[in-house]
Amino acid sequence: MVVRMAYPYYAPYVPLPYDLFLMMPTMFYWMVLPYYYMMYLEIFRAAIEAWRKAFESIGKTVAPTKE
HSE-CB at 11 with a 13 A cutoff on CA atoms is 3
HSE-CB at 33 with a 13 A cutoff on CA atoms is 6
pTM value surpassing 0.85: no
Q: What is the secondary structure of 43-56 as a DSSP string?
A: HHHHHHHHHHHHHH
Q: What is the pLDDT of residue 22?
A: 86
d(CA 50, CA 20): 45
Q: With a cut of 70, which residues of the chain have pLDDT below it?
A: 1-8, 14-15, 63, 65-67
Q: What is the pLDDT of residue 29?
A: 86
Q: What is the pLDDT of residue 1?
A: 66
Exposure string over 23-54, b if 16+ CB within 10 A, otherwise e: eeeeeeeeeeeeeeeeeeeeeeeeeeeeeeee
